[in-house]
């Protein structure tokens, strides 16, 4: 073995050893993160929940039902929004309205576009129907417990808190690929967020759900400000923090659906996630190379000729991940995947991380974008003309009720990892 190969092998050995220590530290941080008391509201201000939808995703009805069954004494308005009158989510929402005539539910169908981020365009259109000062954004594939609104409004009760957001666990909805996707969230993302929060490095604003006061959101320009941004959740959080507000990440976990059914779907989604993180926080992204110690341990075994030290380290790396898997399963619950899939998941995550450095393009809902250094999306192909299509709002509280939206625009991390929003 040449001296240079041996030196490189020991460098990888050290990198893998640091990664193993980091993995174990995230498991300890997770215990602290999920063991904190959950805030609960003493007062119950009126709340508007904005739910942008896109298609009939697996488990959609069950996810939406969770928002209709909140244990919350105050007034709650739920606004569902789609961009297409033929959207497959519409029958699900109409059935939900019929099943809950006692609830204040509105359905907005409005195809007008204001930028490259179609989710934000949907929210701009929906926001015109919003009634209340407390606004909660929630993606279509989010599942929540009955105490969800109590927790968020309790966190916002402190006037110094500008927004509240929740970490989440992955909920597989299908086959092996869906479970692998959920494992990335449960075994990598969630523990790393706990670690970042414990060291006060992470400043997340998670796309699956964000709650804020309308007065604060209006001061940062409302939804139109983020119409062309890929990481709208990260940008919203940063803009509110720049006003001098703090933020809250309660210990309450919500569910995040993982509907991927093919390897291509998993890789495309996770590459978009990785490139978004790299663009938002390049230093953290580069440093998170230690989050993936398995490939470095395997290479160290190869380059060091299978030395006893390298083999022991490989065993430690594998054991550290399995300990975290067990910790997540015990503390967070949910489908944790099969233990024997963990090495494959670790290697896939490492490959995704490396690929995240290679390009500035992302695929989002079948469209290809170039992402500028400031996080602005630029479609690789011409898109629809902005501001077209007529608005249509139906629902609340009776089936068949309809009215036109207003003519004006509604006003309204990231540490080691952050999941960007996906619903449009």
CA dihedral 65, 183, 188, 283 (to 10 degrees): -80
Nearest-5° Cα angle at 46, 42 to 49: 115
Distance separating alpha carbons of residues 118 and 140, to the nearest angstrom = 14
Structure confidence at residue 3 (pLDDT):
84
Domains contained in the chain, number = 1
The answer to whether residue 420 is domain-embedded is: no
The answer to whether residue 419 is domain-embedded is: no
Residue closest to 68 by CA, chosen among 109, 104, 107: 104
CATH number at residue 281: 3.90.550.10
Is 256 in a helix, a strand, or coil? strand
Angle between the N-to-C axes of helices 293-303 and 3-35, in degrees from 0 to 180, rounded to the nearest 10: 160
Query: Which regions in the chain score pLDDT beneath 50?
Result: 384-386, 388-392, 394-424
Structure confidence at residue 175 (pLDDT):
84
The answer to whether residue 47 is domain-embedded is: yes
CA 149 to mean position of chain CA atoms = 18
Q: Which residues neighbour 21 within 8 Å (Cβ) at sequence distance 6 or greater?
A: none
Identify the domain containing residue 182 by its residue range: 3-403
**Is 219 in contact with 304 (CB distance < 8 Å)?**
no
The answer to whether residue 78 is domain-embedded is: yes
Structure confidence at residue 369 (pLDDT):
67
The answer to whether residue 415 is domain-embedded is: no
Q: 404: phi > 0 → left, psi -120 to 50 → alpha, else beta; which? A: beta
The answer to whether residue 413 is domain-embedded is: no
The answer to whether residue 410 is domain-embedded is: no
Structure confidence at residue 395 (pLDDT):
44
Structure confidence at residue 375 (pLDDT):
62
The answer to whether residue 424 is domain-embedded is: no
């Amino acid at each position: 073995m040449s001296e240079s190969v041996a030196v490189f092998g020991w460098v990888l050995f050290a990198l893998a050893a640091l990664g193993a220590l980091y993995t174990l530290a995230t498991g300890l941080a997770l215990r602290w993160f999920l063991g904190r008391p959950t805030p609960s509201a003493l007062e119950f201000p009126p709340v508007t929940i904005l739910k942008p939808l896109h298609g009939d995703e697996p488990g959609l009805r069950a996810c939406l039902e969770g928002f209709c069954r909140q244990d919350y004494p105050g007034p709650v308005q739920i606004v569902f929004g789609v961009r297409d009158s033929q959207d497959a989510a519409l029958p699900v929402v109409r059935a939900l309205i019929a099943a809950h005539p006692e609830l204040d539910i509105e359905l907005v169908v409005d195809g007008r576009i204001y930028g490259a981020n179609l989710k934000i365009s949907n929210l701009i259109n929906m926001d015109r129907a919003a009634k209340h000062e407390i606004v909660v954004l929630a993606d279509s594939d989010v599942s929540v417990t009955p105490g969800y609104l109590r927790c968020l409004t309790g966190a916002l009760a402190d006037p110094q808190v500008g927004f509240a957001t929740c970490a989440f666990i992955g909920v597989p909805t299908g086959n092996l690929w869906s479970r692998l996707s959920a494992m990335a969230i449960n075994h990598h993302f969630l523990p790393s967020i706990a670690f970042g929060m414990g060291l006060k490095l992470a400043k997340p604003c998670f796309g699956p759900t964000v709650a804020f006061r309308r007065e604060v959101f209006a001061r940062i320009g409302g939804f139109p400000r983020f119409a062309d941004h890929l990481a709208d959740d990260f940008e919203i959080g940063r803009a509110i923090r720049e006003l001098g507000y703090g933020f809250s990440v309660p210990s309450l976990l919500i569910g995040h659906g993982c509907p991927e059914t093919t390897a291509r779907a998993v890789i495309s989604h996770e590459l978009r996630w990785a490139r978004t993180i790299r663009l938002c926080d390049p230093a953290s992204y580069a440093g998170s190379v230690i989050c993936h110690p398995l490939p470095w341990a395997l290479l160290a075994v190869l380059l060091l000729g299978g030395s006893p030290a390298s083999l022991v380290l490989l065993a430690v790396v594998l054991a550290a991940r399995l300990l975290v898997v067990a910790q997540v399963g015990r503390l967070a619950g949910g489908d944790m995947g099969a233990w024997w899939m963990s090495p494959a998941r670790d290697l896939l995550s490492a490959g995704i991380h490396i690929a995240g450095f290679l390009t500035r393009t992302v695929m989002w809902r079948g469209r290809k974008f170039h992402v500028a250094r400031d996080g602005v999306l630029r479609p690789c192909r011409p898109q629809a003309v902005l501001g077209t299509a007529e608005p249509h709002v139906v629902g609340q509280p009776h089936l068949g009720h309809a009215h036109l939206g207003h003519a004006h625009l509604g006003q309204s991390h990231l540490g080691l990892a952050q999941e960007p929003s996906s619903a449009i």
